[in-house]
Structure 1
């Protein structure tokens, strides 16, 4: 949770304006700290230490600290190695017992980056990007394809050698589970591709439009060109822009296609009915099966947290979390019994091990075990 959200939450709690869900967030934090902390200091020493740490947060002048547990909550967010996740759990009011036991302890940690990413060229040949050294990868359509560093490739025009054959010299950048990649296209547009996704694009853009095809999830920073609109095609919709920053989540296993705008303005067109929606910064369109576009204000920063190496959860259900973890850690999830009725907030670094990421669920009493069968790893979620 960001510091400004934490301060606003605490202020609402103190003034009695919190919702039930927000009230439970704060109380779960405090309850867990009291149950698990080992304190050998005097009350005076504790107060001094908490005050010193809390001062690291930029607290505005009108904001008053009236109780010790407020500072404890700030410390938990400020110095936690793995950010604590907050939950609204539909159970008996006041029942805040936390279980930290899992059904199995893994001897071998599951880490991300378990698959490969590769670039498929127009002649059908492929370059495994993870194995390729930094430097030139190939020549195509008058462009030099360069691996700038790990996680980034770029297209550089070689003066006097360009030929225009858009639609023929197409490339496909494909990311495996546990890997994300960035590509700098020939027109200066930058695209970040999330795990288990692909982007199809021409080596050079000619004609009246710049067209690419996305499966999975991608974040786009489109180079502005009024005379040549940029169009992103997915299976169910097109996104038309001139120059802007936006994110598209179009994974096949997601219940809806979500397009989120950070800067500029975009037009989202649903292909089946040709209905459309115009998005402004901070807005997200949601296209679910057999429904029209729904547009709502969202926290756009949370939507693109993956680009910055984070899982960011905000009022997320367990199934949403399982889909994200599955793509990153290359595991299969299965739930035994009823789907847990739980909502989670918070963040986890994507370079953390799977076991660390699963503390999101273990923290709130959800148990799991991992079954290893060859290369296949299945995670069984079990609720009490």
Structure 2
């Protein structure tokens, strides 16, 4: 069964006569899979608000469990279509209510920019200009960028083209085998080194025990060249995704005043200084969370659960983990996030300041954006979601000013 997001994308392109040969084959596969799909397409072709219906389709599809039949989704869309057909057709313009619905649904268009996940393309689709400042028209996205700080104070600018580094007890090398010169360091093997990833950067490190860590923009990972004793401990400032190598020796991650303990698992921690909360999302395995500030039994997470620690107490909830580890896979994944959260992610990846002028926008963002896009491409997508903004620059200092939402 085709991915429901891909189906929505194909329907949109079909209705605009934009399907490629490969996409036509995929679309035909879905169409022939169920007679209900043919009926759905027929209704969408004649519906007055196809744009709205597609946004509903995507929103519902995000909530479906893997393996659920598409007929459940089609019934929801048909119901919406039938309701639309009962409404009087506007003679001149859509009602304000309808326009507002479309405005909020417009954020779903972000999803369509991510089809690269399913159909590999050789180049980005150009987006029309929206009077962006020339200072920002070609701002490139973040890349592999990091600085390695040794115990003796020496710093090393790591190779941007390398696929991460590997710590091997007494040496550090790139993933391709090239050694990194650290001979001047006379510190013991368990001395702490720091991988510092600046804004507009990310980097991957394999620790001496085989644990893999992806470090996000604006973050620091403090770790020893070699783990010794009865625990494996690292310290994180910012955000990182961990795939911990299984071992009888506990693996500990300290983030501000939170302590996470595991034996072997996959999880993401977001503990940026500007946020009051520490967000821990578990992908595989099991983790126990605690803090010196509270006298409670450790909070245990199982796969698909997330904890939020505000410094005083832990809370736990079930989440879609893909949204919280998408950055590692080269995506911004917005599933009902606030503008503040969405722009916070953009700020770190493009190294820009975010300023809100007037009322903070209230609508939520849904969809996926390729982190490989230039800033102008991302802003053009956001512009279509009903956002007013302006860009300012003073030398190398860049600022995105978010204004009020568009009105209709």
TM-score (norm 1): 0.73
1:49/1:232 Cα in 2 relative to 1: closer, same or farther (>3 Å)?
A: closer
Q: Which has the higher strand share?
A: 1
Shift in Å, 1:49: 11
**Displacement of 1:130 after TM fit?**
3.5
Counterparts of 1:309 and 1:247, CA distance in 2: 15
Q: Is the 8 A contact 1:136 1:144 kept in 2?
A: no
Change (3 A) 1:282 1:130: same
Match in the other structure for 1:17: none
Q: CA deviation at 1:60?
A: 5.8
5+ residue gaps, structure 2, are 56-61, 63-94, 107-126, 181-185
Determine if the alignment matches structure 1 residue 147 to structure 2 residue 147.
no
Residue in 1 that maps onto 2:245: 223
Whole-angstrom CA distance in 1 between matches of 2:165 and 2:325: 29
Query: Are 1:186 and 2:159 an aligned pair?
Result: no
Deviates more, 1:56-65 or 1:336-345: 56-65
1:327 aligns to what SS in structure 2? helix
Equivalent residue, structure 1, for 2:263: 242
Give the one of 367, 371, 374 matched to 1:346: 367
The counterpart of 1:94, out of the listed 94, 98, 101, is 98
> 1:372 Cα deviation (Å)?
1.0
Q: Which runs of 5+ in 1 are unaligned?
A: 11-25, 78-84, 86-90, 156-162
Contact 1:195-1:327 at 8 Å conserved across structures: yes
Distance 1:340 1:136 in 2: 41
- Contact 1:164/1:206, CA 8 A, preserved across alignment: no
Pick from 104, 110, 127 the counterpart of residue 156 of structure 2: 127
Residue 147 (structure 1) shift: 1.6
> Which residue is equivalent to 1:359?
380
Q: Does 1:277 align with 2:306?
A: no
The answer as to 2:27 corresponding to 1:54 is yes
Deviation at 1:310? 0.6
Distance 1:143 1:70 in 2: 63
Q: Look up the match of 1:330.
A: 351
For 2:194, the equivalent position in structure 1 comes to 172
2: distance between equivalents of 1:52 and 1:135?
38
Whether the 8 Å contact between 1:164 and 1:204 is mirrored in structure 2 is no
Q: Tell me which residue corresponds to 1:309.
A: 330
Q: SS at the partner of 1:93?
A: helix
Match of 2:232 among 190, 193, 210: 210
CA drift of 1:4 comes to 3.8
Distance of aligned partners of 1:340 and 1:153 in 2 relative to their CA distance in 1, 3 Å threshold:
farther
Give the number of aligned pairs: 327
The answer to whether the aligner puts 1:259 opposite 2:280 as a matched pair is: yes
Q: Distance in 2 between matches of 1:321 and 1:154?
A: 38
Q: Distance in 1 between matches of 2:278 and 2:163?
A: 35
* Residue aligning to 1:81: none
CA distance in 2, matches of 1:59, 1:217: 44
**1:369 corresponds to:** 390
Structure 1 partner of 2:67: none
Matched with 1:88 is none
How much has 1:92 moved relative to structure 2? 5.4
Query: Structure 2 length as normaliser, TM-score?
Result: 0.69
1:287: how far off? Answer: 1.2
Q: In structure 2, do the counterparts of structure 1 residues 224 and 133 end up closer, same or farther at CA, with 3 Å as the change threshold? A: closer
Query: Deviation of residue 363 (structure 1)?
Result: 1.2
Instruction: After superposition, give the CA deviation of every residue in 1:184-229 in whole Å (9 maximum; x if it has no partner).
Output: 1111111110111110000000100000000111111111111x10
1:121–1:172 CA contact under 8 A, matched in 2: yes
2:340 matches 1:319: yes
User: Which one of the candidate residues 110, 118, 132 is aligned to 2:139?
Assistant: 110
**Alpha-carbon separation, structure 2, partners of 1:242 and 1:344:** 36
Residues 109 and 204 from structure 1, CA distance in 2 versus in 1: closer, same or farther, beyond 3 angstroms?
A: same
Q: Return the alpha-carbon distance in structure 2 between the equivalents of residues 337 and 134 of structure 1.
A: 43
CA distance in structure 2 between the partners assigned to 1:309 and 1:134 by the alignment: 14
Who is 1:299 aligned against? 320
Structural RMSD (CA) = 4.1
